[in-house]
Structure formats: C-alpha cells, structure tokens
Structure 1
C-alpha cells in the first residue's frame, strides 16, 4: 500500500492522502532527469514525472500541437465514406441536416459543422432534441422533419451509435444518415451511410478518448481534404479549420474526456483561438459570465459550459448550438443573456434535487454505487446532481427522475469503473429501456418495476470493478509547500504543464501544520480563511461549497489547532497584481 502523506489516514472529507505517482524514488529520479534535459525547474520536472510522462515524450507534452498529434482522419473506419457523402452534398448545393445531442459536446459539434459548411457555401438545418419530450438520441419524427426541410443527408452528432431501430426505420424511409459519435458501441452498428466512431468494436481504440466534437473536427479535416481534391477551392477561399478549435476545446473539456494526446493539442490551441474572441457567441457568453481574462480549462468547464448546457437542461435545447453558430453579435448577446437566465433557474432546481438526493445517498452507506430517485425530479439536472454525489461520496452515482411512469437517469463514475459499459450491459440484460455512455458518464431510461433489479446489478458490477482497490478513497498530493512559497512565479511555472483536466490533473499542494486564521463564511456556502505558516508567510484560501460539509466545519473550528491543508493554487484575479490564493480541497489536523 502506498504510504500516506503527512500520516493523514482520514481527512475532513474522509480520504487518505497519498503521493501522486506513488512517491517513490524512481519518480523523483525521472523528474530530475526531465528537469535537467529540458532546462525546467525541478518541481516542474517532478510534476511531469508524477503524471507518467516518459522522458522522450516530454517535449510533445509541454508543447502539444496539432502538427504532432493530428492523425490522418482516414485511420477511422467509414471516415472516407462520410467525407465523400458530405462533399457530394456540398458540390450539389444540397442542404445538410444535423441532429445533435443537447449537451455542450453536441452543441459544439453542431456549431462546428454549421460554421464550416456555411464557409463552403452549404446550408444546414439543425435539430436538437428536447430533453423531456424527446429524450436522448435520434428519433424518426425529427429525422423526417429534417428531410422535410430539405436535408439530402443527416449527420447524427454525439449520438446514434446505439439507435439501431430508429436508424433502421430512417433507412427504410429513404433518409440517408451519417453517424459521428464517440459513445461505446455495441456489437451491431446502425444502418447508416457511414458510422464514424473511434469506440466502434472494430477500431483500435487509439482515439477512443476523443469527444464527439473532436471526432467531428477530424471529419471536417477529411471533408476539407476531399473538397480540395475535387477542386472545390479553385474558385473559392478555403476555410482555415484552426479557427474552429475554440469550439473543439470547449466541447472536449466539458465532456470530461482525458486531456492527453490529440485532446491536449485541441484544448491548448483552442484556448488560444478562444482568447481572440473571434466567435461572437463565445465572446457574448464570456461577457455575460463576466469573464475578463484569458480563458483556461476551468472557465470552459465551470463558467461557459454550464451556461450552454442550461438551454438543454431547463430551457430550449437549441439555444447553445444557435449561440455557437451565429455570426451576428446582436443575436449572440440576446442568446447569451437568455442562457444566463436559464442557468440561474437551473441552479435553483439543482439545489432542491440535491438536498433530497443527499438524504437518500446517506442511507446507502454500504452500497458500492449510489442510485437515488425522485418523482418529478427535473431530467435536466440529474446529471449534475449525480456528479455532486460522486464527488461527495467518492462512489459512482446514478440519479433518476420519474415522470408519468418512466425514469430518466444519469450517472457519473469514479476512476476504475466503466459506467457506460455497465449501463449497456444492464440494457442488454433487459433491465433498462435504453442506455449507453462512456467510462465516466452514462444516461439511461428505466421503468419503476425494474429499478431494484438495476440497482442490484449495478452495485454488483461496480463492486467487481473496484475489487482490490483501497476501501478508503484517496486524495493525490503532488508536493508540500510553505505559505511563503506560494508565489505568482510558482503559479506561472506550474502552468507550463497545462492544460489541466481529466488525465492531466491540476497539481495539488499540501501546506503542512499551518494555522487557519480569520475563517468565515462568504457568499451562500463558501468558507474563506488565511493560512499562516511557521515561515511567517500567509496565504489566502477559500473552500467552495464547503459550509454544509465536514471540510468547512474543520476550517471554521480550527482555532489554534495546526492543520494540514491541501488544494490548488490560482492567481487571485479579484485582487490583481501577483496575488495567489489556495482553492481548498481538503484538510486534516496536524496532530493526526
């Protein structure tokens, strides 16, 4: 078993602190070698080594570029067929239909297609399904509606891989469909002109970590190449696909896929594009969110993303795709303001459901996975609430809202549990009406009479996945610092190994044996304080949404007790200058 950091066996959040990478000498030696070979500060070399980056891969890790990471799109099965069919539509002046999922990944995929096809002179018609009335995935009336609006071919984006019946019926009705998806496939593929999905069972899996927007971008690369081969740009300006990377970055971060390889390049370069504010919709959304600095993955995932999602959760499903597709700054401002209002409504609904969900989850203390349900729970917030439960209880969590005798569920997972595969297996066992997903998230529909059997099935499956793992959840720590060492220079230096996200976690520092000074409540349920160290240094700190939990209580009650405090360092934008603050993740008494 990996040794604990500072002897913390059970923290305020119930976790055992361990060193990322195991804290062994081999990691230290690799980190030193990385620092020496690449002229990096030793701490940066150690952080890179802790993330498992090989010595020969460091240069690509530090400078992720599309030139180095982008594959030939034809490596994916059916890609050439998809590009050819879309090119046929462009050349013939035909309209392309887009059916996209209602989340950020779907909205960005639809906007990517719309903006590119507009640039090459092709009209699109778009349908984003209503979460409540239509549910997830393509449905025949919507596909028929797109065909009725003139679509010669319909691309299903971020959905469709499991829609065998619907797409079979669409084919019988004479509707040509392309599937561009990333969700886990089953043994049978839908009836479509092309099925582009790196998670097909007959794919290598090398690009299985891509979000749908990443697969869509590869499709546009293939389409652009095909149009160039056909001479389409001899009399027209060829679009610069790099200008679309802001959308790819947004969808990639918000779909919580690993930021490794191609995804890392997508996000690193996409953030640079986003900073130019070339997309009127993203610029307007940043304005309503009061985002007045260069965006980073945190802003994409927790500031911009929730507002785009709000339309699909509690408002009008098409608002996000429309916002990201428009070229009109006035329309963009109107749509962004509407999404911001829906986001406030979503927060209120989420708070009500979360309170009831936590009460149920606390009664499932011994379950390997949490499954909580409620009559009338809004299907637009069940995914967010599942994420909150997963974070709070460190277990896979599924939240189901029942309405008119049917349950709409969403789940979020923890490392080591393939939740999407578990949900697909439950569907194949006849326990779910429908369901699918990927490693860390899943969606499903369940009948009330099958709920108990599904819960038992899921818990058994999760317990098997987690067998052999430590019973106590862990918190990975990268390095120890004194408050005086938390400087703006350090934050900038650590930033060199970004972008951070799934697969490349933001470094977490622990501040040993500090005094918690001036702890108090700010906002609705945040706890702010100052950490005072033996070195005389002081560091501002804040624990978000911590007031009602043990973490907030431990900070507020610390008094003269020395505490170990762990978290992420950020530039303090509110105070400006070179100020730094700690975003607190956890704490524990220094005396054990």
Structure 2
C-alpha cells in the first residue's frame, strides 16, 4: 500500500495581503498567493495582458516567409503531431492560414508506420500522396528534432518552417526558420507554450506582417481570437504549465465556449460528450474533449480529429465526433484489459516489485501503453514503463514518472551506460517514449531500475497531496463552487483542494463502484462522492476534497469530490 503524505500549501502572506489591498477577496487572495500570484495584474486574463509575438525568436522571420508564400500563391503543407496538441495546432494553422489567404493542406504521420515527427519516411509518404508537392512544409508541435526529415525535404526542393515547443537537441534542423520558445537563443518569457500556442503566435505575427504590407487596406482583417477555443483545448490537453500567459489563452478560449462562439467541431465534441459548453471549464477540456481527440491518434488516424476541428458543417463534424467517441470507448476497453493484465503480472509470484515498474505483453496495443503506464504509476507511485510489440523484434515503450524522477534523464543515463541498449528515446521529466530490442528487455529492466535510484537518490517514493487547508464555512456555498470552476486550473497551477473533518451521516454505493455520501460539518450538510472507491468510511473522518457545483434540473447545488481520506 502506497503511503500518502498530506500537507498544506504555503501561503505567501505578504502577497495575499497585497492582493486583498488590490481588491481581491480574502478567500481567492489566499488561493492565488499559494500558487505564486503576487499582483492583481497576474489575475487579469484579458488579451491586452498577452505577451507580444515579437518576443518570440524568429517569429517575424517566419511571418515574412509565410507572407511571401501567400503572395506568391505557393502550396503550403502542415505536418502535424498525432496528439490533441498536434491536432489543435494543425487546426489553428489551417484555419489561420486560410483566413489570411493561403493555399494550405495538412498531413499527419501515422505513429505506427512512420514514427514521431517529420521523418524521412514521412517525406516519402507525402511525395506519394500529395500532388503537386508542397513548396513549403510547416511543422506544428514537432520538427525541432527532425534533422533528417528536414534534410530529406530539402533534397526534394521543399523548404521547412518549424514551429514546436519541445526541447531541442544538440543539432538543430536546417529549416528556413525555427519558432520555438525553448530553443537556446529565444528569450520569450513563457517557456510553457504548447505547440498550439506556438502556431497561434505565428499566425498573430503573420497577420501583423500582412498588415504592414497593406493586405487589409481593402479587405477586413481576420479575427484570430476566433481560434482561441482550439488554443485552449490543445494547451490544457498537453498538460503544459499554466503560467499567467497560458492562463490567458485558456481563459479566452473557455470564454468563447461559454458564450457559444466555439468552432463547429468543438461544439460537436461537447455534444457527444454530453457536456454543456455554457459551463465549460479546464477539467472538461482535459478529461472529456481532449481524450476523444487523442483516441484517434492512439488507435487509428488523427486526420479524423483534425477534420472534425476544421469542419464548418455541423452534420459532418458531428459524424466525425461520433467516430472519435467510438474510438475513445474502444480505447477505454483496450486500456482496461491491458491494465488488468499488467496487474495480474505484477501481483504474480514471478514479478519482483523494485524501485520502478517495467511491463511488456505481446498482445498489447502501442497506442495505449502510455495510459497503462500512467495507471500503474498512480497505483504504485513508481516510475513505470509499459511496452508493446514494434517492428522486427523491437518493442516500444511509453513511460510515466513521479516528481522525484526525471524520466528522460533516467533513460539518458541508461543510454550512456549501455550505448546499444536503447535504440531511440525522447520525452520530458514526467513522460517519455523509447524503443528497445525485445531480447534486451530483461537487461533493460535492471539498468533502468538502477538509473531510477541513481538519478533520484531514493529507493522509495511517496505521493504528496498539497491542500489549501480548511474551507471556511462562510465560503462553502454554490457561489464559491461556481467561481472556482470558472477559474483556470491545471498543470503548475493546481485546482484547490481542501481538508476538513466531517461526520458521515449516510453512505451507499453507486453502480457498485462509486461511494456516495452525505457528510456534516458544523451545522452544514454536504453531498459528497468518491469515484472508483468502494470501501465505507468511518463515522468521523478527515477528507481531502474539491468543492464543486452540481447542476441538476436547472438548479445549482454543491458537492464534495473526495480525493483522499485520513
């Protein structure tokens, strides 16, 4: 059983008092101060607070190249990534460029055939499928590592403009421009833009360039804020840190959805998810809309997701959204089966649970191993890699880590110690992917386990739940619950969790898997639910919970969503 530590977030009292003096109520001032907000301007999510596009290295150069291409009637092709960030980035690129008069199409690599990003294999497929061949390729959410792919494109007379947000390697591709806040030479203050954010900034710079060239002297200037819903979806789904700049992008996108001004495709996705966009929040994007887009890339063809997002016909978009919904249901059933098989292996007599977890099954699906790794990591709180069969004796793994272990660094350490053990790898601190030979799996397990200990200096890892302390009963009302869901929470800016002692008045199981309760604190009774938890709670218990609104029959009630009990 994993031991959970529960602590209270540290509130910078000076920042809290400053926020109160600037007009923020004490409740919100405390929450914001605990998340590094020190001035009321950091809570302003209006467009005027957005960082200027000109701060992004090479964005003006890229804008000039794109403006020239539009003026010369060149054929543009977007090469997208196969996750939700890549799909929304592609949709922003397609919609934005067409608004600005470009001839543009898109292609998305098949993760099971050509791998990640703009590879030489993608160029080969493109030359077979696309006629006439493009004059300029624009990468979105990929390309910074595509040294060979860009070279392959150039050998066929095709220029490449890279827009990406991933960390660069030692060698950069020979692109006509590279727009990436994380390249060494870029001083853009927010290093946390998602891929969709980078292409959105590129569109803003392109519009500014075309404005200076007089393109809008006799025609209306396009409203790029109409793309904000797509930017918000991709930013939340990619779990990038929600710094103040990203919170502006997400807030503006959510405002579009709540006012009914979203794209047809996102409206269709809300409809198939059975979710009301008028109450849209970041959790809806991360857990309801995003997974349906991601399902296409995991199981089949991400072009379906992109076509849904760029459609202007509701019937077409709804048909595509229903297909995405079906794939998401299929993904869930595959993931549940794979997760249960992994649990059987881990709980078997021949499995030794060490400092990390590595599992492999010949029957597993490549597109779902990342979710299985995530489930196992959450259950055992250890860095976890799950593998599925690849090509020609290879197996491909996807990993998830705990905060104590930088996963990419751990894989890099294995690679340096055993140069031939990992064929390729990449990723971030919390998630990574790799390819190894199946015959090397057992050797890799030992090497990775040692690297985890050496990187972290630890042999045991414990999850830490940070709360915002007690919820003042004066604020325990529907108005507060609604206000909390209207804010943008997510990676690096976590949604509020509270902890208080309650008396359990009654409890029962819903659908044999969710614990439904009524609990009392002081003189107030609260409805509460603990999803995927079946054990009854004692009469008096300290709960860690989210305080959320519950909409029912046109009325708004409050509900505690339990996350932990002590």
Give TM-score, length-normalised by structure 1. 0.87
Equivalent residue in structure 1 for 2:216, among 204, 225, 233: 233
Name the counterpart of 1:504.
493
Distance (whole Å) between structure 2 residues aligned to residue 82 and residue 541 of structure 1: 52
Distance (whole Å) between structure 2 residues aligned to residue 205 and residue 130 of structure 1: 32
Counterparts of residues 361-380 of structure 1 (less than 5 Å): 361=346, 367-380=354-367
SS at match of 1:480: coil
Report the CA distance between 1:135 and its aligned residue.
Answer: 2.4
Greater shift in the superposed pair: 80-89 or 465-474: 465-474
Name the counterpart of 1:44.
28
- Corresponding position: 1:587 with 2:565: yes
Name the counterpart of 1:406.
394
Report the CA distance between 1:458 and its aligned residue.
Answer: 3.8
CA change 1:231–1:41 in 2 (3 A) is closer
Equivalent residue in structure 2 for 1:149, among 127, 131, 145: 131
SS at match of 2:165: coil
Greater shift in the superposed pair: 428-437 or 267-276: 428-437
8 A contact 2:75–2:104 mirrored in 1: yes
- Corresponding position: 1:479 with 2:464: no
Name the counterpart of 1:248.
231
Report the CA distance between 1:261 and its aligned residue.
Answer: 2.2
Greater shift in the superposed pair: 152-161 or 36-45: 36-45
Name the counterpart of 1:325.
310
Equivalent residue in structure 2 for 1:300, among 279, 285, 292: 285
Report the CA distance between 1:371 and its aligned residue.
Answer: 2.3
SS at match of 2:496: coil
CA change 1:426–1:252 in 2 (3 A) is farther
Report the CA distance between 1:510 and its aligned residue.
Answer: 1.3
SS at match of 1:319: helix
- Corresponding position: 1:518 with 2:507: yes
Q: Residue deviations 1:60-84, cap 9 Å, x none?
A: 232223322323x343333233222
**Once superposed, what is the RMSD of the aligned Cα atoms?**
2.5
- Corresponding position: 1:173 with 2:126: no
Equivalent residue in structure 2 for 1:355, among 325, 329, 340: 340
Greater shift in the superposed pair: 483-492 or 45-54: 483-492
Equivalent residue in structure 1 for 2:246, among 260, 263, 271: 263
CA change 1:481–1:78 in 2 (3 A) is closer
How many residue pairs get matched? 556
Distance (whole Å) between structure 2 residues aligned to residue 348 and residue 503 of structure 1: 30
Report the CA distance between 1:140 and its aligned residue.
Answer: 2.6
- Corresponding position: 1:285 with 2:269: yes
Name the counterpart of 1:53.
37
Name the counterpart of 1:3.
none
8 A contact 1:167–1:190 mirrored in 2: yes
8 A contact 1:281–1:329 mirrored in 2: yes
Distance (whole Å) between structure 1 residues aligned to residue 188 and residue 207 of structure 2: 24
> Unaligned regions of 5+ residues in structure 1, if any?
1-11, 22-26, 547-551
CA change 1:60–1:482 in 2 (3 A) is closer
Equivalent residue in structure 2 for 1:120, among 100, 106, 117: 100
SS at match of 1:245: helix
> Unaligned regions of 5+ residues in structure 2, if any?
none
Name the counterpart of 1:136.
116
Report the CA distance between 1:525 and its aligned residue.
Answer: 2.8
Report the CA distance between 1:453 and its aligned residue.
Answer: 4.6
Name the counterpart of 2:378.
391
8 A contact 1:517–1:532 mirrored in 2: no
Distance (whole Å) between structure 2 residues aligned to residue 121 and residue 446 of structure 1: 45
Give TM-score, length-normalised by structure 2. 0.91
Report the CA distance between 1:423 and its aligned residue.
Answer: 4.1
